[in-house]
């Protein structure tokens, strides 16, 4: 199983650079003709949601799309009267287009001015993802064995991290860095919760997660687990990438996963994204801003 997204990128497969030289005629021919059915399917799918794409297709490739009218099929006899009659209308359309373009430009300028006046211009030290990711919504099992939803943490700033208890390096390092953030927040840490979502539910039971997060901070950290489908759905929702090796009955396998920390405000809105390059001071700085903001 593998999920990929903008917020987590797995290492590039070495197979991607396997063919770097000139391709043989046979390989080039086979690749070109093997891609034709897929190209047709892609065109038909895009045609459902966009304007007619045949206006962008080169005439030399029009035979790949049977439903696309060719130039011979659409060509009409030359009629000077039709051309003369269409010129005034074309001028009106062009003038109207320029007016709409100018109106859009002024509207954009006005919106930018209002935005600058009504919002704090201080830049975030973390990556601002406001409006780009969905709200905090899930239905999983907590490390105490009880059902937990995203609404459980409303009124708190939630730091969501996807990992697993058998992780040899990245997860302990990330949790350790988050503990430094908690220390820097001081009394404000009471309004923060760390949600450790396992990507290895086969081995990470509720008890295993309870012991793991308790070793770091039993007061502020909570472990979350669920079925494979539930974890996969939540990871896909927030564009988390992870790839599991073939499961060994003895439990000897690893899981490659992204290491971003998602920050949600007290209302459950996705606000920030912290990576390995963000220091505890930077994370604590932005968390204070979110804590002080009225959601």
Binding-site entries for Cu cation? 167, 171, 257
CB proximity list for 291: less than 8 A, separation 6 or greater? 157, 188, 191, 192, 266
Q: Please enumerate, by residue number, every residue annotated as part of a binding site.
A: 167, 171, 257
Rounded distance between C-alpha atoms, residue 71 and residue 58, angstroms: 11
Report whether 185 contacts 287 (CB < 8 A). yes
In the structure encoding, which two tokens stand for residue 69, read together?
């009218």
Tokens representing 285 are: 């700085």
Instruction: Report the distance separating Cα 79 and Cα 42, nearest Å.
Output: 37
């Amino acid at each position: 199983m593998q999920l990929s997204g903008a917020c987590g990128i797995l290492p590039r497969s070495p197979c991607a650079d396997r063919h770097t030289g000139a391709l043989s005629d046979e390989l080039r021919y086979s690749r070109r003709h093997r891609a034709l059915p897929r190209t047709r399917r892609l065109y038909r799918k895009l045609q459902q949601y966009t304007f007619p794409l045949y206006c962008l297709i080169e005439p030399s490739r029009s035979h790949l799309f049977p439903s696309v009218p060719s130039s011979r099929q659409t060509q009409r006899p030359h009629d000077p009267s039709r051309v003369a009659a269409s010129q005034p209308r074309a001028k009106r359309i062009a003038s109207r287009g320029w007016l709409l373009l100018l109106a859009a430009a002024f509207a954009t300028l006005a919106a930018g001015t209002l935005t600058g006046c009504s919002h704090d211009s201080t830049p975030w030290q973390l990556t601002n993802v406001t409006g780009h990711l969905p709200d905090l919504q899930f239905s999983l099992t907590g490390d105490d064995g009880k059902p937990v939803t995203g609404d459980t943490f409303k009124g708190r700033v939630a730091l969501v991290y996807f990992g697993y208890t058998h992780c040899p390096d990245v997860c302990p390092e990330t949790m350790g860095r988050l503990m430094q953030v908690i220390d820097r927040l001081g009394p404000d840490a009471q309004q923060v919760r760390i949600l450790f979502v396992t990507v290895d539910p086969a081995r990470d039971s509720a008890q295993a997660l309870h012991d793991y997060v308790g070793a770091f901070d039993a007061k502020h950290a909570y472990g979350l687990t669920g079925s494979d489908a539930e974890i996969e759905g939540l990871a896909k929702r927030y564009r988390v990438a992870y790839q599991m090796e073939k499961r060994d009955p003895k439990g000897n396998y690893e899981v490659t996963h992204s290491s971003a920390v998602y920050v949600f405000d007290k209302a459950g809105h996705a606000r920030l994204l912290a990576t390995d390059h963000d220091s505890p001071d930077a994370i604590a700085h932005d968390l204070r801003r979110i804590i002080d903001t009225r959601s």
